Amino acid sequence: MGGNNGRAARETVLQARCVELRLQGLSYRAIGAAAGCSHVHAWRLITRAMETVNDRTAEDARTLRALEAERLDAILQGVWDRATEGDLPAIDRVLRIMERRARLFGLDAPAKIAPTTPEGDGVTIRVVYEDTGDRDGTAPGEG
């Protein structure tokens, strides 16, 4: 059991080192050489670290969204009775709260916006893709 904990701790330290080296711009091969592991293992460690960060960010966003929904519920509760009795400013406020909730949860269909010049003429868009591969042009496991 103690061996697994030690191995996990070493792997965590190795992962942090690999991420640090990647942030410095090193290739996976250079990271592997500097960290004492294969470039494929370095890539896996970095990928796992990024997935962990993405998972935490998504969880934080869900938590914040829930908190904002509770706040909107509390505000809505404060004006609902007046709005249902026909108070026009309260109705406007309810509609604003509902609009905010729809945006918060992505309930509205996305607006389609065509790119135009200030004069209203159509615009041609050129898409440029950035090369996100390794510096030596190979993905982990290649070359």
pLDDT digits (tens, 9 = 90+) for 46-65: 999 999 998 899 899 999 99
Helix (H, G, I), strand (E, B), or coil: what is residue 116? strand
Name which residue leads in pLDDT, 14 or 130. Answer: 14
Q: What local confidence, expressed as pLDDT, does residue 114 receive? A: 75
CB burial string 99-115: b at 16+ within 10 A, e below: ebeeeeeeeeeeeeeee
CA distances from 57 to 16, 23, 64, 101, 114 (A): 18, 19, 10, 21, 31
Contacts of 19 (CB under 8 A, 6+ apart): 45, 46, 49
pLDDT digits (tens, 9 = 90+) for 104-120: 988 887 777 777 778 87
Global pTM reads 0.52
Token output for 95 = 């509609």
Token output for 90 = 């309260």
Helix (H) or strand (E) holding 94: helix 88-104
* Mean per-residue pLDDT, 20-27: 94
- Distance between CA 101 and CA 107 in Å, rounded? 8
